[in-house]
């Protein structure tokens, strides 16, 4: 579910689509979507850190 986009339906969503604006939502919905995004960003950062650490541990041979 973390990789699925959040679709906010309703009249407000359709009205803002014409203007290319995000739908207006209540604070709880906004916070829930924001929390999902932050969790994905943290996971991405951890993965990048693990990759960097693996590169540092890799034996250097002098060859590209």
One digit per residue, the tens of pLDDT, for the chain of length 64 reads 455 556 555 665 565 567 888 889 999 999 999 999 999 999 999 999 999 988 888 877 666 5
pTM of the complete model: 0.55
Residue 39 lies in a domain: yes
Residue 38 lies in a domain: yes
Range of the domain at 54: 26-59
Query: What pLDDT does 3 receive?
Result: 56
Tally of domains within the chain: 1
Residue 16 lies in a domain: no
Residue 45 lies in a domain: yes
Residue 48 lies in a domain: yes
Residue 40 lies in a domain: yes
Burial class of residue 48, CB neighbours in 10 A (0-12, 13-18, 19+)? exposed
Residue 3 lies in a domain: no
């Amino acid at each position: 579910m973390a990789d699925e986009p959040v679709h906010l339906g309703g009249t407000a969503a359709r009205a803002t689509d014409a203007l290319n604006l995000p739908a207006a939502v209540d604070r709880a919905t906004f916070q829930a979507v924001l929390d999902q995004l932050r969790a994905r960003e943290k996971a991405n950062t951890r993965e990048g850190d693990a990759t960097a650490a693996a590169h540092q541990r890799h034996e250097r041979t002098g060859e590209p």
